[in-house]
Amino acid sequence: MERLKPILTRIAQAIPVVVGVVVISFVLTRALPGDPAVFFAGAAADAASIEQVRSELGLDQPLPVQFLYYVQDLASGDLGNSVSTGQPVATDLARRLPASLELTLAALLLSCSIAVPLGVLAATRPGSWVDHVCRVLVTTGVSMPTFFTGILLIYVFYYLLGWAPSPLGRLDFMYIEPDRVTGFFLIDAALVGDWETWLAALKQLALPAITLALFTMAPIARMTRAAMLAALSSDFIRTARAAGLTRRKILYGYALRNALLPVVTTLGMVFSFTLGANVLVEKVFAWPGIGSYAVEALVASDYAAVQGFVLAMALLFVALNLVIDIAYAAIDPRIGFESQ
């Protein structure tokens, strides 16, 4: 219970943030130029049919009334209907958010498993060839736009070599989605023991995840290297060395652990921008994710969808920040919730 209370406090602190997001997302969507009634009235609409569509969408009501309806629906868990996809926003999010999360998490996992060791190696041997390889790799990764890397990978591994499956989204068309439990295909397929589908999902995931990983490696590797350098030159490491501890113990037991704090912070930031910003990767790999959903909703002035997206992202970030804070406390006992 002692540990739970600060967490609950943190969640309570998030409530005003969420309320603010609800109000701002509502106001901002209405401030978008463009008229959804015109857009959705279709190709050959006349003035009367545009008005009809407007009232059907409830957009003929004054703004405060619209807001009231929106809050009322929200309170009952109804995010409204997206006009551009024709589905309830909640359904869209429930389907697309796991797709984006699966891709982003896989990419970050891959990215971390390469970038962190690479950063550590570079820091322990600054100026060596490892350091240079690290620098070249991350600079290349970050300087190539994701859609370019994506198309390049498709060209080489799908078009030329034929190793990768058709870049057709999360599963090739001959497979059926595994029964939905988490919405993560890898987890859901594993849960029912359908390894054939699991492998297929993994294959589909590989190229987009590599694309994203290449892009996200740079900040993580650079941050690991910088933090490790700082940690290695600090007093406590000198003391540890003087005390004759093993190199291994010093490096991984003390230096890395202290260097992890900024890395975790960077990871949180990278995660948040990747989740919302991998629109291009989603488009190239026909990945039904949240980024392209939001962009298309914005283009169409699809109010409910935009609001739902902003709200979902806000909740996600609140949760993410909480997780990162807890991770801080676990990594560095000096940081407690009490001190904040």
Partner 1 sequence: MISRRSILKGAGAGLAVTSLPFASVLNAKAASGDVLVAVHGATINSLDLHRTGTNRPSYQVAVNCYDRLVSFGIKTLEDGSLSYDYATIQPDIAKSWQVSDDGTVLTFTLRDDVTFQDGTPVTAEDVKWSFDRAVTVGGFPTVQMKAGGLERPDQFEAVDATTFVITLDKPSKLALPDLAVPVPFILNSKVAKANATEADPWAMEYVHKNTIGSGAFKVIRWDQGQQLVYERNDNWHGELPGVKRLILRDVPSPATRRALIERGDVQLSFDIPNKDAKELADAGVTVYSTPIENAIQVVGLNTNFEPFTDPDVRKAIAYAIPYEEIFQTAAYGRGNKMWGGPETATDPVWPQPSPYFTDLDKAREHLAKSAYADGFDVPFSIDLDQSDWMEPTAILIIEALAKIGITSTLEKIPGANWRTASLVEKRLPLHLENFGGWLNYPDYYFFWAYQDGHLFNSSNYRNDEMEALVDNALHMETDNPEWAPAIMRMIEIAYEDLPRIPLWQPALNVASNGADGYAYWFHRQLDARTLGPASS
Angle at 135 between CA 227 and CA 246, to 5 degrees: 45
Q: Which of 61, 66, 87, 234 binds partner 1 (CB under 8 A)?
A: 87
Task: State in angstroms the smallest separation of the CB of 299 from partner 1.
Answer: 5
Residue number, 45 or 190, with CB nearest to partner 1: 45
Residue 190 lies near partner 1 (rule: CB under 8 A): no
Task: State in angstroms the smallest separation of the CB of 214 from partner 1.
Answer: 18
Task: Count Cβ neighbours within 10 Å for each residue of 170-179 and write b for 16 or more, e otherwise.
Answer: bbeeebeebe
Residue 59 lies near partner 1 (rule: CB under 8 A): no
Q: Which of 183, 262, 268, 288 binds partner 1 (CB under 8 A)?
A: 288
Candidates 128-136, 219-227, 259-267, 281-289; binding stretch for partner 1 (CB under 8 A): 281-289
Residue number, 34 or 253, with CB nearest to partner 1: 34
Task: State in angstroms the smallest separation of the CB of 49 from partner 1.
Answer: 5
Task: Of 107, 22, 100, 141, give the one whose Cα is nearest residue 276.
Answer: 100
Residue 114 lies near partner 1 (rule: CB under 8 A): no
Candidates 23-31, 166-174, 261-269, 320-328; binding stretch for partner 1 (CB under 8 A): 166-174
Q: Which of 3, 24, 42, 128 binds partner 1 (CB under 8 A)?
A: 42
Residue 196 lies near partner 1 (rule: CB under 8 A): yes
CA dihedral 80, 281, 226, 137 (to 10 degrees): 180
Residue number, 49 or 72, with CB nearest to partner 1: 49
Q: Which of 9, 139, 143, 166 binds partner 1 (CB under 8 A)?
A: 166
Residue number, 214 or 255, with CB nearest to partner 1: 214
Residue 28 lies near partner 1 (rule: CB under 8 A): no
Candidates 15-23, 78-86, 106-114, 123-131; binding stretch for partner 1 (CB under 8 A): 78-86
Residue number, 199 or 319, with CB nearest to partner 1: 199
3-state SS class at 95? helix
- Token pair of 335 as six digits: 């940081």
Dihedral sign of CA atoms 202, 203, 205, 210 in order: positive
Question: Which amino acid would we find at residue 267?
Answer: L
Give start and end residues of each alpha helix (H) in the chain.
Answer: 4-31, 36-40, 47-56, 63-75, 89-124, 129-143, 146-153, 185-191, 195-232, 235-242, 247-248, 256-277, 279-284, 290-299, 303-331
119 vs 67, 219, 224, 237, 272, CA distance in Å? Answer: 49, 10, 5, 18, 21
3-state SS class at 173? coil
Residue number, 258 or 292, with CB nearest to partner 1: 292
173-182 CB contacts, 8 Å cutoff, 24+ apart: 175/200, 175/201, 182/98
Residue 201 lies near partner 1 (rule: CB under 8 A): no
Residue 223 to residue 266: CA distance in whole angstroms: 7
Q: Which of 2, 16, 46, 77 binds partner 1 (CB under 8 A)?
A: 46
Residue 3 to residue 336: CA distance in whole angstroms: 10
Residue 35 lies near partner 1 (rule: CB under 8 A): yes
Residue where the block lists tokens 């190709």: 43
Q: Which of 62, 77, 86, 244 binds partner 1 (CB under 8 A)?
A: 86
Number of residues that bind partner 1 (CB under 8 A): 62
Q: Under the rule (CB under 8 A), what is the footprint of partner 1?
A: 32-36, 38-46, 49-50, 52-53, 56-57, 83-87, 92, 95-96, 147, 151, 154-155, 158-159, 162, 166-170, 172-178, 194, 196-197, 200, 282-286, 288, 292-293, 299-301
